[in-house]
Structure formats: structure tokens, C-alpha cells
Amino acid sequence: MLHSEKQASAAKTPLPWEDPLELFAQWPGPAVVVSGPNFIIELVSSLLLRIWNCPLEEVLHQPYFEARKGKALAGLEQAFQQVYTQAQPLTWGVAPVAYPKDGGIIHAVHRIEITPFINESNQVTGAVAIGHDITNEILAQQRAEEKKQLTQHILDSSPDCVKIMELDGSLKYVNEKGVQLLELDDFATIEGKSWQNLLPPAGQQIIDQAVQKAAQGEKVQFTSYCPTLRGNPRWWDVLVAPVTNGTGAITGIISVSRDITERIRSEQELSFRSLLLEAQLDNNPDAILLTTLDRKILMGNRQFEQMWGLPRGSLSRLSDADSLNMVQHQVANAAALQQHVEWLYANNSVCGIFEISFKDGRIIEQHCFPVIGPDGVCHARCWQCRDITTQRRQTAQLQESEERHRTLTRQLELMVNDRTAQLQDSLKHLQRSNEELQQFAHVTSHDLKEPLRKIKTFTSRLQLELQEKVGEQSMGHLQKIQHAASRMTAMIDGVLQYASLNEAEQPREPVDLAHILHDIRADLEVLIDERNAVLSLHCSTQVYGVPILIYQLLYNLINNSLKFARQGVPPQITIDCEPFDLEGEAAVKITVSDNGIGFHKDYAADIFKSFKRLHSKDRYEGTGLGLSLCKKIVEGHRGTISATSVEGAGAVFTIILPTRL
């Protein structure tokens, strides 16, 4: 096999074998030598003949591709032509082969190398094709590929984020789950980048240290916070370890990161709930203790320690039995308490209430109930103690107070019964007095009305007898006497009716206030003239009531204004009326004002009391019943009356009367 002039000169060196066939017969692999443009077979190794399964004579000195027509490897002819054309060796293809050996069939894989023969004129005169057995190499590659695929499958099946890195921490590989966990669109976006630089600054130092230790052959495990590439928060449990080859040399770094975000959140939530529970327990007014079924203390609040006089923080070092032994000397009923606690622990599913009496006088109400888990099984017991000392004292005081109240009630009932009997006797006496008073009113009115009838009778006779003998003025005087007598008769009838108000309500009817005021002006004409009084009437509305009583009401008020005039000052009396809303009911507001002597404002309520006089009888005549009668008349008509005044500047009386029944 000559490739250059040096090789050509070397080819002239005599070979140790005189017969080339002998050389090829012993060649360990398949080999063939061809010459000329038709690829004439010159030499064939014995192994190749076994592979071809034919004798040497059948193929020797025959054109290769005619002797092997239909059996030659596809593409082999083109490979020989390429070697002839380019005058360069060619490693061509891999071919599976099978041949008999030792009674069996050997299956192997050969890689074919073709080398040209070049003469001194640099022309290709032939070629040798040798097959090299690469079966073990192929098998090793297959095993390596299978191992690689298995490793890939394991990595892709892992629920963790697996990263393969160079010794400096640059990323070479991230498994599929890791791509998902890191929220990567494509690993290529971070391939070759430093793992440390993907973390926030706060987490880069721990990664740097882990990579350095792994590069030196150490394994490192830690927990770290690192958000995804989309910024979503994540917590990781990370293991960083060296990757070694067959000789033990460190060739890379592997990192396995497990997403523990949910675990961290659960731990944080559990921690928060634990803190919240502790806060709720410490802020609970009751003393609370949680114990296991084997009497170990899980948790207790400061109120429990304070109530039982235990050192702060001692509950965490004690069992329930220990704490009970420490406080028994404070309890008056310690034996009963011990028995009750033992019974509750022996009956885990029941609730219990026990009243603890302390030697210092305190009374504690203890509630115990089981803590049932989702599985329906009791896992712990909760002891809740409440100081009810004050409550018991208040209950006792309340019971004592209730007993006093019942005693007072019985005494009051007796007093009420006695008073009721007295009132009933008084009522009977008052009824008899009213009956006698009514009889007296009837008799008195009859006795008064008899002389009035005579006055009216004789006045009528005088009017007839003197009709043509006296002047008009005298006849007018007689007429006024006659009118006054008639008015007096009506007044007596009204007083008689008023005295009967308690027995039966007098008939009500519309009352024309203008007509009432006109009659009052006429009846008081002499007094008005004597006092040079000015009476201004501005009232033309109606009210609903008893006419004679409405007359008496306004008569008394106007007569008072005339009576209590200032010395030397002509009285000026004004009566005004206007509509008024009396709690949703139509009413009229009547105002009687004057310029008289008035009264002090402190007496505004007293003037309506019976027999109440503000001035002596020597200065102003009267009985002290006028305004009290006015108040009674107004209230009998479901109205109100009030008075205001400035002493020495007159008074104003305001009456509110309904305009409907």
C-alpha cells in the first residue's frame, strides 16, 4: 500500500513472505486487494472468503463487482471509485457480518477502510480494502447510549429540578421537570450561564460556596429562596454534589433542587396559627391548659400559671401530674379534684365540670373536654378554668337582694291594700259630698233664679207702664236690666251644669267666638265705660265646646284685665285668634293681652291655683277662683292655657282649644 514516493520505495523492500496468498490467508480480518479500473480481485483473506461463503477460485482474478454481483455492499463500488479518483484513503461505512466458526456463526460489525496503491507516476493502480472488527466498540457505544438514555429517563422522570454544571457553575443541562419548575420557555436561554447569577443577590453567596465545595469533592445541602425566571416566589431544598468519571476525577457538578414552597408556606401558616393560638390563649380571660392523653403538657397560657401560682414558663417543663402535685396544697378539696382528674383521663371521650375550692376563698370552675381530630379520635384534653368567686358573691348578694325585695314587696302590698281601703272610704265620702254639693247647687240655683224671675217680671211691667212716660234713655236702662237678668239666669244654669261635669259630659257644639265676645262686651259695658277701656276684638273663628263655659272663660279673662288695670292708665285689651296645630289636631290659638299691672314671672304657674291671690282684698276684690275656673274649663275642652307677664307692663294669656269634637 503505497501513498507516496517514500512509500513506493519502501514497497520494493523484499517481504518475508514469498507468496502473498499465504499472507492474506493468515490476515486476522476480512481483506481484499483489487487492481485496475475494473477492480480485479488479486488477493482475498480467508476470513473474507468465509464471510462470502465461497472458494478462492470462484472470485480470484475476477472483476470484484461482477464476482459479487448482487451481493456486494451497497455503495462500495462508489467508494472504490472515490479512492481511485482522489488517490486518498477512505474510511467507509460500517457493515454487519456473519461467518461460521467452530461450528457456530459469528456475528460482528466491521468498519471498512480502503487504501489506494499509487505507482511512481502517482497513478492509482489498485486498492486494498480491510475490515476492522469494531464489534466491541459498537457494543460499548450501545451500552453507553443505553446508559445515557436510562440516565436521561431517570432525570426526566424526577420530580425535582436536576442541573448538570461545569466546575465553575455554568449550566450544561436541566431536566424537563426543572425547566417547568424554573418556568423556562427554553433551556437554551440559560445554557452556559452561571447558576449563581440566576439567583437574587441575597442567595448568590450560598450558591458560590456550594459550587466551590462540590468542585473540591464535597456534598452540600441547604434550603434557599429563589424565584422562578418569571418572578414567582419559590423555596428549594438543594443538594449539590461532584460528578466523577471512572477514574474518580471530578468532571462536573450535579444539583438536585426540590420545590418545597408549599411545605414552607404550610410551616409558615402553622407557625402563624401557633402564634395566633398562643396570643388567643394569653389574651383569654380564662386559664387554659392542653395536655396529651398520657398527661404531657402541650401548651398553657399565662393565666393558668398565674391562677395556680406556677412560675412563668414552667409549664413546658412539667407534666399534668407534676403541676397537679405542685398546687394541691392550695386546694381545699384536693382529694376530690385528684379523683375527678383521674376519672377524666380514664374516660377520654367525656366532658367534665368540677368546682375547685381554694383555701384562700377563691372558687374556680373547671371545664374539661376532649380534643377530637379529623379521624374522630380523641388526641388531647383541654382544661379551662374560670374564677367565679366574684360571680358567686354577686349571686349570693343578688339572692339576698331578691329576698329583701320579696319582703319589701309583701310589706308594700299590705300598705297598698291598707291605702286602697282608705281611698275607697275617701271615695265613698267624696261621692257623698259631691251628691250633697250637687243638691246644694240645685237648691241654690233655684233660690237664685226665683228673685231673678221677679226682677225680669217687674222690669217687664215697668217697661209696659212707663213706655210712654219716660224717655228713651230710661227705657234703655230698663232694657239693660232685663238683659242682665236674662244673662244672670243663663250663668246660673251654666254653673249648675258645670257642677254636674263629673257625672255626665255636657253636650258640645260649635261656638262662635265673635258672638261670645259681643255678649261679653255688652255685659261689661258699664265697667268698660267707667274705666275708659279700649277692647279690640279680632276673633271670628269657631271652637267646639260648651257655649256657656267658653263664655265664662273669656269673661273671666277680660274682667281680670279690667280689674287689674294700672292706676290712671286706661285699659287696652286685645283678643286675637289664629289657627294652630295641636299635635296633629286642628285647633285655634286665642291670645288675651292687656297693659295692666301684670305679675312677676315666678308666679306664672301659681295664678291658676284655686284661691291663689297675688294682691290683698283691700286693693282688688275677688275670690281667687277666676283663673282656676278658666284652667278647669280649658282642660275640660282638651286644651291648654298659659300666662306670661312683665310686672308693671301687662299680661298675655294664651289658650289653645280644638276646633273639632
Segment 286-336, tens digit of pLDDT:
888 888 888 888 778 888 888 887 777 777 677 777 777 777 788 888 888
CATH 3.40.50.10800 given to domain 506-658: no
pLDDT band at 11 (very low <50, low <70, confident <90, very high): very low
CATH of 5-140, picked from 1.10.3720.10, 3.40.50.12160, 3.30.450.20, 3.10.20.310, is 3.30.450.20
Q: Is the pLDDT of residue 3 over 60?
A: no
Number of Cβ atoms within 10 Å of the Cβ of 595: 19
Q: Which residue has the cell 273663628?
A: 541
Chain centroid, CA 148 distance in Å: 57
User: DSSP assignment of 40-104, as one string?
Assistant: EEEEE-HHHHHHHTS-HHHHTTSBHHHHTTTTSPTTHHHHHHHHHHH-S-EEEEEEEEEEEETTE
Cβ atoms of 358 and 330 within 8 Å: the answer is: yes
DSSP 119: -
Cβ atoms of 101 and 46 within 8 Å: the answer is: no
**d(C-alpha 311, C-alpha 74), whole Å:** 96
Per-residue pLDDT tens digits for 327-373: 778 888 888 888 888 888 888 778 888 888 888 888 888 888 888 87
pLDDT value of position 242: 92
**Mean pLDDT rounded to a whole number for the chain:** 81
Average pLDDT of the residues in 266-282: 75
Q: Is the pLDDT of residue 560 over 80?
A: yes
Q: Is the pLDDT of residue 624 over 80?
A: no
Number of Cβ atoms within 10 Å of the Cβ of 156: 12
Which of 98, 126, 101, 96 has its CA nearest to residue 111? Answer: 96
The CATH number that domain 158-259 falls under is 3.30.450.20
CA torsion sign for 203, 205, 211, 214 is: negative
**d(C-alpha 76, C-alpha 32), whole Å:** 13
**d(C-alpha 128, C-alpha 54), whole Å:** 19
> Are 285-387 and 506-658 in the same CATH fold?
no
Average pLDDT of the residues in 539-556: 87
Q: Alpha-carbon dihedral of residues 462, 467, 470, 473, nearest 10 degrees?
A: 90
Which of 135, 33, 49 has its CA nearest to residue 83? Answer: 33
User: DSSP assignment of 436-482, as one string?
Assistant: HHHHHHHHHHHHHHHHHHHHHHHHHHHHHHTTTTS-HHHHHHHHHHH
Q: Is the pLDDT of residue 281 over 50?
A: yes
**d(C-alpha 314, C-alpha 533), whole Å:** 101
Q: How many CA atoms lie within 13 A of 631 on its CB side?
A: 14
Show Cβ contacts of residue 565 under 8 Å, excluding neighbours closer than 6 positions: 531, 533, 571, 594, 595, 596, 597
Average pLDDT of the residues in 589-608: 81
Per-residue pLDDT tens digits for 457-467: 888 888 787 77
Per-residue pLDDT tens digits for 377-407: 888 888 888 888 888 888 888 888 888 988 8
pLDDT band at 8 (very low <50, low <70, confident <90, very high): very low
Strands 572-582 vs 534-538: parallel, antiparallel or unpaired: parallel
Cβ atoms of 128 and 32 within 8 Å: the answer is: yes
**d(C-alpha 450, C-alpha 444), whole Å:** 10
* Burial classification of residue 545, based on how many CB atoms lie within 10 Å of its CB (0-12 exposed, 13-18 middle, 19 or more buried): buried
Pick from 164-168, 352-356, 407-411, 497-501: least confident: 497-501
**d(C-alpha 639, C-alpha 26), whole Å:** 152
**d(C-alpha 298, C-alpha 292), whole Å:** 7
**d(C-alpha 361, C-alpha 373), whole Å:** 38
The ranges assigned to domains in the chain are 5-140, 158-259, 285-387, 397-504, 506-658
Q: Which CATH architecture has domain 397-504?
A: Orthogonal Bundle (1.10)
Name, of 8-12, 221-225, 302-306, 441-445, the range with top average pLDDT. Answer: 221-225
Q: Determine the straight-line distance between the first and last CA of the chain, rounded to whole angstroms.
A: 150
Chain centroid, CA 567 distance in Å: 81
CATH 3.30.450.20 given to domain 285-387: yes
